[in-house]
Amino acid sequence: MTQEILIRRPDDWHLHLRDGAMLQGILPETARHFARAIIMPNLVPPVVTGEQAAAYRDRILAALPKGMTFTPLMTLYLTEGTDPADVAAAAESGLVKAVKLYPAGATTNSHSGVRDLDKVMPVLEKMAEIGLPLCTHGEVTTAEVDIFDREAVFIDTVLDPLRCRLPELRVVMEHITTEEGATYAAEGGPNLGATITTHHLIINRNHILVGGIKPHYYCLPVAKREKHRLALRRAATSGKSCYFLGTDSAPHVDALKEHACGCAGCFTATNTMALLAHVFEEDSALDKLEAFASLNGPAFYGLPVNDEKIRLVKHELAQTFPEKIITEAGPVTVFNPGYPVHWAVEA
């Protein structure tokens, strides 16, 4: 028997679109289902100024195939040289919707990130004043801290002190991967939100490492133990307003994923909505999918929800997704959950 649900068109509150041939090749994968996305600024070189964000937005819109509608919500990459006045002007013009904090060295193209938070306090104070959210890659980078503990240590040693110092600052904990992250977000009040990726609802660290290393499951923050995946499932399917979808869909060509030093990132843009329907159905929470994917994010960012709807249909037969998206930059492997999925987005 087929089953179907209709939800408002979703948005992706954390997305990597890259640039050039990669952007051209993968943008339709997001624009097919999503109305808007918060666009990560970790290009080479990074998107630091309002002028650079405007130029990047124009390149994204130029890459959008005719007949597709999609609105990129731009972000600025926070550096120790960022000018508070430039951030304020970019926000006031409506161009920029958030600023991204990458602790230096935390992940792909993060070397221009922040080493000393004191140096960016004037920017953060300005953001608190104008209500512009800070999106955080919440991992410490200290060599002594185990990679599986980096999120929890970030919350205790960086995020909580920062929020005590500047409680008016609106913060999004990006791609939370731990029970600690989910709990902290739920207790943070209206100025705190958290995005959750599709893949962190599906894989734990065993999926990456048991039976041979699976480079296409490697991302940052790295997937944790099963109890953390279950905590994320409870969070996402709770419908609570602090949790919303940010896929962190992060394309890298196969040659760089299947490599002696493989890049971090799971590419989920193509099948995210089908996978989420599967996950939410499994947890008897299909009625909460719209809140997670389409309502909670706009509410946090103070934007209207989308008027259009999308239809998700569950078929008798398992659905097929492309194994790879072929781009002029090279092939990109689509995230494979490792089990059959019967859901599909239909017109």
Residue 248 lies near Zn ion (rule: CB under 5 A): yes
Q: Which residues contact 226 (CB under 8 A, 6 or more apart)?
A: 204, 206
Q: Kind and range of the H or E element at 118?
A: none
Rounded to whole angstroms, the Cα distance separating 21 from 144 reads 38
Q: Which residue is nearest to Zn ion (CB)?
A: 248
**Shorter beta-carbon distance to ligand DOR: residue 271 or 294:** 271
Let me know: does 301 contact 97? Beta carbons within 8 Å. Answer: yes
- Residue 248 is a catalytic residue: yes
> Furthest-apart CA pair in the chain: how many Å?
59
Min CB(106)–ligand DOR separation in Å:
7
**Shorter beta-carbon distance to Zn ion: residue 180 or 248:** 248
- From the list ligand DOR, Zn ion, none, partner contacted by residue 30 (C-beta under 5 to 8 A by kind): none
Q: What is the dihedral of CA 142, 208, 184, 237, to 10 degrees?
A: 160
Q: Interface residues with ligand DOR (CB under 6 A)?
A: 16, 42, 107-108, 137, 219-220, 248, 250, 264-265
Let me know: does 244 contact 292? Beta carbons within 8 Å. Answer: yes
**Shorter beta-carbon distance to ligand DOR: residue 46 or 298:** 46
Q: Which residue is nearest to ligand DOR (CB)?
A: 219
Residue 267 one-letter amino acid: F
Residue 12 lies near Zn ion (rule: CB under 5 A): no
Residue 139 lies near Zn ion (rule: CB under 5 A): no
- Per the residue annotation, which of 156, 248, 254, 287 is the catalytic one? 248
Min CB(14)–Zn ion separation in Å:
6
DSSP state, residue 204 = -
Over 232-243, what HEC string results?
Answer: HHHHHCCCCCCE
Min CB(16)–ligand DOR separation in Å:
5
- From the list Zn ion, ligand DOR, none, partner contacted by residue 87 (C-beta under 5 to 8 A by kind): none
Let me know: does 181 contact 155? Beta carbons within 8 Å. Answer: yes
Min CB(173)–ligand DOR separation in Å:
13
* Residues forming the active site: 248
What residue ranges bind Zn ion (CB under 5 A)? 248
